[in-house]
């Protein structure tokens, strides 16, 4: 394993910076020692520090967006929206903390209270597709609840990870309260293997989520919140709004070059709408502008994260073609040595035996079905369960779709992606372990302590042994 990680711009291949990997053991040691101090800090001080953090990010929003765009390749307009999500997360988390985990008096004859305590040391493992927003979505609620945080950004986006952590530090949150750990899978494994880590807050692939579950199998007391991938369906049913349906499909399948866990991967279309829908969708797909993050005019889609990811996507595409999928629009490299890919569509109607694996890029599989029940069955024909959308259909059909869908996000006439931070966010099956994040992240950042309380031990009086 090299002892440095090199951050590279996907859109140019240029190096951004090199980072020394650090030692998980030492980081855990320091965080463990610092946990009592942060837990004892008043809630109002923690809130004030996080509001300072949001203010600093706001002051330097353009710099942070530029770095996100450089390191992920996503267009600058999109990186700017990521920065706004980082800022918004603070107030949303403060509200969520109060509403989900705040202190309450318990009613009853004996005075009682419900309060919450932090777990202690939380490991946050981040993905590359939203290198600031998604780890921040774990870090802010964890800090707010009084935990210390060890944050290992994705090895593909260490520069954004480092910048994010610098903002917390500049806001007055100490180096041992939020600690940056640079490294790859090995550092991640070492980090969570340390029994002083009380919680693992993970966003990434289902494969890694399963490895984390196994690593924690003998530590039931270590909380794990696993936000993983999806193989998300989008059904198009009775509608004559084909241009709108096509726009929702494009947004769902190709935003962030398909590198969103909530991206639509499978388009399920009522057979007799197929030709008209395609007549609207294909020209739109053909007009998608792909380019570098700072191109003018701005592209809709950037490259995928690196050449290895592009190659893996091309292999997955070829496997589908080999198993009988028909190419509607091919997945191909649009640059010989950079990871730019064209938006692709494969018709898999006659390929029932294909893999259910998440294909994390701009590749949409389309299938035609005859009945609404078939459409729902096809939508649920996945081990994942993150998001699902119905475009068109009646209220009664949406109700049936909602009732039967096995997913944590079920939408009507809206894209599969673009979820709000002000709502719970998570999936079932291979998509999550029933610890939804965003608005519900507060729930897994602390544990409840129930107390019944009296100012004196009065048991003898209470049972009438002595006069009151």
Ligand X SMILES: NC(=O)C1=CN([C@@H]2O[C@H](COP(=O)(O)OP(=O)(O)OC[C@H]3O[C@@H](n4cnc5c(N)ncnc54)[C@H](O)[C@@H]3O)[C@@H](O)[C@H]2O)C=CC1
Ligand Y SMILES: O=C(O)CCC(=O)N[C@@H](CCC(=O)O)C(=O)O
Contacts with ligand X by CB under 6 A lie at 125-129, 134, 152, 154-155, 184-185, 188-189, 192, 203-205, 208, 211-212, 227-229, 261, 358, 360, 386
Q: Per CB under 6 A, does 208 bind ligand Y?
A: no
CA distance 350 to 370: 14
Q: How far is the CB of 442 from ligand X (least distance, A)?
A: 16
- The interface region with ligand Y, picked from 101-109, 126-134, 212-220, 271-279 by CB under 6 A, is 126-134
CA distance 83 to 45: 24
229 binds, among ligand X, ligand Y, none (CB under 5 to 8 A by kind): ligand X
Backbone CA torsion sign across 187, 359, 305, 70:
negative
Q: Per CB under 6 A, does 137 bind ligand Y?
A: yes
Among 260, 265, 329, 435, binds ligand Y (CB under 6 A): 260
Residue 270 Ramachandran class (φ > 0 left, ψ -120 to 50 alpha, else beta): beta
Q: Is residue 82 annotated as part of the catalytic site, yes or no?
A: no
Q: How far is the CB of 185 from ligand X (least distance, A)?
A: 3
139: nearest Cα among 99, 189, 95, 173: 173
Strand duo 121-125 + 112-118: pairing? unpaired
Q: Per CB under 6 A, does 68 bind ligand Y?
A: no
Indicate the residue among 130 and 242 with the shorter CB distance to ligand Y: 130
End-to-end CA distance of the chain: 72
204 binds, among ligand Y, ligand X, none (CB under 5 to 8 A by kind): ligand X
Tokens linked to 378: 């096809």
Alpha carbon distances (Å) from 72 to 9, 66, 138, 244: 7, 10, 20, 29
Q: How far is the CB of 351 from ligand Y (least distance, A)?
A: 26
Number of neighbouring beta carbons within 10 Å of residue 286 = 10
Are 402 and 387 a contacting pair, CB within 8 Å? no
Q: Per CB under 6 A, does 389 bind ligand Y?
A: no
- The interface region with ligand Y, picked from 25-33, 116-124, 258-266, 341-349 by CB under 6 A, is 258-266
What 8-state DSSP symbol labels residue 333? B
Indicate the residue among 167 and 360 with the shorter CB distance to ligand Y: 360
Q: Per CB under 6 A, does 438 bind ligand Y?
A: yes
389 binds, among ligand Y, ligand X, none (CB under 5 to 8 A by kind): none
Active-site option among 9, 71, 155, 227:
227
Q: Per CB under 6 A, does 437 bind ligand Y?
A: yes
Q: Is 404 exposed, middle or buried (0-12, 13-18, 19+ CB in 10 A)?
A: middle
Q: How far is the CB of 263 from ligand Y (least distance, A)?
A: 7
Tokens linked to 269: 């279309």
112 binds, among ligand Y, ligand X, none (CB under 5 to 8 A by kind): none
46 binds, among ligand Y, ligand X, none (CB under 5 to 8 A by kind): none
The closest residue (CB) to ligand Y is: 421
Among 262, 405, 431, 446, binds ligand Y (CB under 6 A): 262
Q: Which residues of 124-151 are buried (b: 16+ CB within 10 A; e: fewer)?
A: bbbbbbbbbbbbbbbbbbbbbbbbbbbb
Indicate the residue among 112 and 184 with the shorter CB distance to ligand X: 184
Among 101, 187, 231, 421, binds ligand Y (CB under 6 A): 421
Among 300, 401, 425, 444, binds ligand Y (CB under 6 A): 425
- Between the CA atoms of 119, 133, 155 and 150, what dihedral angle is there, to the nearest 10 degrees? -20
65: nearest Cα among 160, 140, 200, 171: 160
Q: How far is the CB of 420 from ligand X (least distance, A)?
A: 13
Tokens linked to 283: 């020209």
Alpha carbon distances (Å) from 438 to 86, 90, 174, 249, 378: 11, 11, 24, 24, 28
Q: How far is the CB of 78 from ligand X (least distance, A)?
A: 14
Q: How far is the CB of 191 from ligand X (least distance, A)?
A: 7
Show which residues are catalytic: 227
Q: Which residues in this chain contact ligand Y in the complex, by CB under 6 A?
A: 129-130, 134, 137, 260-262, 417-419, 421, 425, 437-438
């Amino acid at each position: 394993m090299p002892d440095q990680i090199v951050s590279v711009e996907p859109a140019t291949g240029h190096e951004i910076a090199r980072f020394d990997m650090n030692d998980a053991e030492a980081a855990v040691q320091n965080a463990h020692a610092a946990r009592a101090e942060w837990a004892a800090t008043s809630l109002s001080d923690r809130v004030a520090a996080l509001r300072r953090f949001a203010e600093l990010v706001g002051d330097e929003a353009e710099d942070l967006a530029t770095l996100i765009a450089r390191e992920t390749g996503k267009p600058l307009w999109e990186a700017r929206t990521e920065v706004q999500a980082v800022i918004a997360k603070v107030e949303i988390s403060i509200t969520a903390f109060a509403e989900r985990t705040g202190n309450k008096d318990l009613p009853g004859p004996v005075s009682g209270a419900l309060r919450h305590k932090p777990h202690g040391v939380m490991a946050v493992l981040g993905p590359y597709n939203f290198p600031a927003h998604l780890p921040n979505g774990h870090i802010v609620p964890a800090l707010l609840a009084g935990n210390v945080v060890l944050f290992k950004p994705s090895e593909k986006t260490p520069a954004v990870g480092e910048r994010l952590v610098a903002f917390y530090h500049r806001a007055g949150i100490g180096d041992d309260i939020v600690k940056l750990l640079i490294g790859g899978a090995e550092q991640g494994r070492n980090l969570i293997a340390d029994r002083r880590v009380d919680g693992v807050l993970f966003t990434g692939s289902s494969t890694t989520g399963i490895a984390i579950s196994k690593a924690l199998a003998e530590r039931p007391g270590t909380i794990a919140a696993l936000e993983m991938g999806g193989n998300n369906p989008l059904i198009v049913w009775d509608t004559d709004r084909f241009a709108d349906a096509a726009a929702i499909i494009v947004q769902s399948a190709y935003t962030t070059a398909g590198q969103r866990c909530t991206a639509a991967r499978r388009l399920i279309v009522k057979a007799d709408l197929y030709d008209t829908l395609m007549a609207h969708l294909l020209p739109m797909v053909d007009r998608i502008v792909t380019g570098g993050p700072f191109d003018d005019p701005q592209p809709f889609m950037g490259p995928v994260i690196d050449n290895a990811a592009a190659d893996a996507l091309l292999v997955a595409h070829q496997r589908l073609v080999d198993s009988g999928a028909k190419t509607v629009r091919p997945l191909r490299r649009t640059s010989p040595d950079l990871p730019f890919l064209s938006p692709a569509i494969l018709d898999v109607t006659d390929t029932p035996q294909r893999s259910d694996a998440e294909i994390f890029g701009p590749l949409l599989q389309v299938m035609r079905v005859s009945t609404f029940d078939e459409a729902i069955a096809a939508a649920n024909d996945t081990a994942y369960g993150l998001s699902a959308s119905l475009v068109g259909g009646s209220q009664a059909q949406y109700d049936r779709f909602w009732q039967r869908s096995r997913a944590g996000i079920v939408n009507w006439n809206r894209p599969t992606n673009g979820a709000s931070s002000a709502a719970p966010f998570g999936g079932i099956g291979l998509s999550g372990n029933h610890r939804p994040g965003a608005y519900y992240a507060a729930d897994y950042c602390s544990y409840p302590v129930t107390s019944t309380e009296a100012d004196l031990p009065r048991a003898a009086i209470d049972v009438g042994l002595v006069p009151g």
